[in-house]
Amino acid sequence: MIEKVITGIAKNELYMGYIFGIMILGGFIRDYSALEDVYALAKKYIKDNRVLVIITSLLGGILPIPGRVALSAPLLDGIAPRDQERRSDFGVIDYLSVHHYYWWSPLEKTVVLPMAVMGVSYGTFLGYTIVPLIITLAYTWWYIFTKVPASSVVPNLEYVREFNWRRALTGWAPLIATVILLLNTGKGGAIFFFPWFLGMAIYYSIVFKDWKWGKWLDGKFAIIATLVLALGGVVGLVKGPVMEYLNAATPGMLIPASLVAMVAAYAMGSSGKYAGMTSALVAIFGPQYLVWFLCTEYSGYLISPAHKCLMIGQQYFGTPIRKYYVVLTRLCAILIGYAALVTFIL
């Protein structure tokens, strides 16, 4: 048991290399406008900054890599306003923008596992999830259009007189290289995070002649992140007992079983684990309850305090946890309401 706890904690703590690296890369991007050549070019053709924010967030959200929020955060950070109140909205935008992926990506366990259990095609599966996907995207875009002004979002672009490919590639190279690394290694690449991001930070230091990385590392945040990741490694061990309970469920235990799975998804904050629980429940209760199980467990996962994405948004954009929960619980209520309607009423 102790060995499992230590292994779970150690596995989660590998992500600290990712978090520290993104903090340093984000500092270079902010302070040295490393991405603004590309944004300046985009501004010539996209006059409504809300559309620019949607495109940027979509880019981060569709990347088939682990930890999408950590890479999409620097992209949005490049166009986030400096005013703290308006800036904190971008933490929520970042969070919402990278979590529609679980409704549609054939690379995610949340799609693959239920498909395998039901023995259906990808197109058939999308027939179940298309409305939750539309709800999630519509809610995200509604939030963007209500929180982001149509103008004056992208700061300090005046100095970029003409788009320069060499300067743009120099600024974007670490992000492009990181995406390629994660595409090829997936979550198994976690062991490379520390040396990889060390190399990317050295690259930016050489380019911008700045070696003072400490100014971008928040000691308080590092302690909180370390504790949350460690807690996630411990809490993840509840999956075994929970799966035993779910696999022993009978057809008359639909509501109790779905509530247990939702609470477990909230406690563990793992998409892979909630995908496994959903699949187990669908195998017992049938595909007619798939939307209900997906919406309830996705909701638990989305608002989980063990969810790494919450920490990253708080670090980048200073978004209060209360703001996250106000926005996210509304989305969860809509999703669960829809699932209840189509499962138990229509």
Burial class, 148, CB count within 10 angstroms (exposed 0-12 / middle 13-18 / buried 19+): buried
Contact 96, 140 (CB under 8 A): yes
> Residue 191 carries which side chain, given as an amino acid letter?
I
Max CA separation in the chain (angstroms): 68
CA 57 from centroid of its chain's CA atoms: 11
Q: Name the pTM for this structure.
A: 0.82
Contact 25, 32 (CB under 8 A): no
What is the domain extent for residue 324?
2-345
The number of distinct structural domains making up the chain is: 1
- Tens digits of residue pLDDT in 57-108: 777 667 666 666 767 777 777 677 777 778 888 888 888 888 888 999 888 8
| Mean pLDDT within 142-163 | 64
User: What pLDDT is stored for residue 330 in this prediction?
Assistant: 96
Contact 302, 290 (CB under 8 A): no
User: What pLDDT is stored for residue 155 in this prediction?
Assistant: 47
CA 272 from centroid of its chain's CA atoms: 13
Q: How many CB atoms lie within 10 A of CB 115?
A: 18
Of the listed ranges 313-317, 324-328, 335-339, 342-346, the one predicted with least confidence: 313-317
Report the share of the chain in percent with pLDDT over 90: 30
- Tens digits of residue pLDDT in 196-224: 878 888 998 998 899 988 888 777 777 77
User: What pLDDT is stored for residue 319 in this prediction?
Assistant: 87
Whether the pLDDT of residue 188 is over 80: the answer is no
The per-residue pLDDT of the chain, averaged, comes to 81
Q: How far apart are CA 267 and CA 262, in angstroms?
A: 9
The number of CA neighbours under 13 Å toward the Cβ of 251 is: 4
| Mean pLDDT within 181-185 | 74
Q: What are phi and psi of 290, to 5 degrees?
A: -55, -50
